[in-house]
Amino acid sequence: MADGTLQPAVFPEIVGDAPFREVPLRHEEEDYVLWLGKEASSGLLSGVLKRILRLPDLMLEESDALRLEGGLAPAVRSSRCRFDHETACSRPPLEELLQLTTAGASSQHAHGGLCTAYGPRVSNQDSYICCAEWGSIAKSPASLFAVCDGHGGGVVSENLPAMLSRELAALGELEEGRLVEAVEAIFVEVDEQLHKSLDAAAERCGSTCALCLSWPVGGAYRILLANLGDSRALLYRARGDWEHLTETCDHKPDVVKEKKRIRAAGGYVLPSDEDNPARLDAVLATSRAFGNFRFKDVSHSPGTRKVSPVPDVTVLDARAGDVIVLATDGVLDVLSSSQVANFAVRGLAAGAVEAAADVVWEALQAQTQDNVTCAVIRLGS
């Protein structure tokens, strides 16, 4: 909630701040979902339930667990969607597309494919993690996929896959309830390691990151999405006669919560116009990233600096057959989240690598002006 009111999401309703707990509701043969955050007002929650359940006299008692604080924004948003699963992509075969680089990884619980391309740029500053048999979480085998979008140079992004894979290994020793806080701390630690090892080389360059960890829980799955900057993670879930798309929220300088932090740290936000996005200190088009150390005053704590290395982290339930898509802004600048998910889900009939290549191809055809990278992961055997 950026201003104390509900975010405009058709389905489900978002109440409070991340991390969220998914609360399914069924009333009069209709299904609903609440994202109930750690901070939410009882009055706001009452209003949501009254509207959904048509109970005008519903009242909830105020408690410490339902507390509203201003200036908050959701880490994810969700909506119902209807996709075209029939129309085939007109992409040429991969062997004819020399500028596309692909990778794939499969395990008993996840099948992932990745595709990256220079686009119109002279070099590719994106990097990625594609590991279906990565490690363990809560004593279950876990998969790790990520896309990292470098800007101002590739020195930060090219170091991230090895550093994140190594540091995240510590999660295997933790209980699920401690994962969100641990991932936030690991991102900050990786950022500090980058500062020490790269020094001046990372003053003016940085990288965003969208990351997904998945592991089986009973007969279902749990996924952890970590988002830093304006790369994005999508979760597609088909449930009977409806389709549901959840997406992480980008960290842009003109988002209310981000702008408040930037100003408190002594920065300013140049407003967007028809041709240009909003920019932090008239330079940077994202407000959270690894690197970019000239915007990180060490006298401030990591989460209060102009550019923050603290990600939004959300843990969600999923099932076999659900699809996760990770994409850089080179894709998302020219395609909507629903378009990306549609291309990915449709392309999975030919495999995860082919699905990721479809998304990248469509972004290139839409005249992206950036490097483009996409990962597509299908859960289950």
SS (H, E, C) the chain: CCCCCCCCCCCCEEECCCCEEEEEEEECCEEEEEEEECCCCHHHHHHHHHHHHCCCCCCCCCECCECCCCCCCCCEEEEEECCCCCCCCCCCCHHHCCCEEEEEEECCCEEEEEEEECCCCCCCCEEEEEEEEEEEECCEEEEEEEEEEEECCCCCHHHHHHHHHHHHHHHHHCCHHHHHHHHHHHHHHHHHHHHHHHHHHHCCCEEEEEEEEEEEECCEEEEEEEEECCCEEEEEEEECCEEEEEEECCCCCCCHHHHHHHHHCCCCEECCCCCCCCEECCCECCCECEECHHHCCCCCCHHHCCCECCCEEEEEEECCCCEEEEECHHHHCCCCHHHHHHHHHHHHHHCHHHHHHHHHHHHHHCCCCCCEEEEEEEECC
Strands 30-37 and 13-15, bridge-based pairing = parallel
- Using pLDDT thresholds of 50, 70 and 90, give the confidence band for residue 99: confident
HSE (side-chain half, CA atoms, 13 Å) at 108? 7
For residues 17-25, average pLDDT = 54
Over 50: is that where the pLDDT of 160 sits?
A: yes
Output the pLDDT for position 291. Answer: 97
| pLDDT-derived band at 369, boundaries 50, 70, 90 | very high
**What is the second-level CATH architecture of the domain 94-379?**
4-Layer Sandwich (3.60)
The residue with greater pLDDT, 180 or 240, is 180
Mean pLDDT of 66-88: 57
* 30-60 confidence digits (pLDDT tens): 555 556 555 555 555 556 555 555 544 444 3
Q: What is the pLDDT of residues 214-234, one digit of tens each?
A: 999 999 999 999 999 999 999
pLDDT value at position 96?
83
Lowest mean pLDDT among 187-201, 232-246, 338-352: 232-246
For residue 93 the two structure tokens come to 């075969």
Per-residue pLDDT at 56: 47
Give me the pLDDT at residue 94, please.
86
Residue-range domain boundaries for the chain: 13-74, 94-379
What's the whole-number mean pLDDT along residues 156-179?
A: 94
Mean pLDDT score of the chain: 84
- List, for residues 297-347, the tens digit of each pLDDT value: 999 999 999 999 999 999 988 999 999 999 999 999 999 999 999 999 999
Who has greater pLDDT, 119 or 67?
A: 119
Start-to-end C-alpha separation, the chain: 38
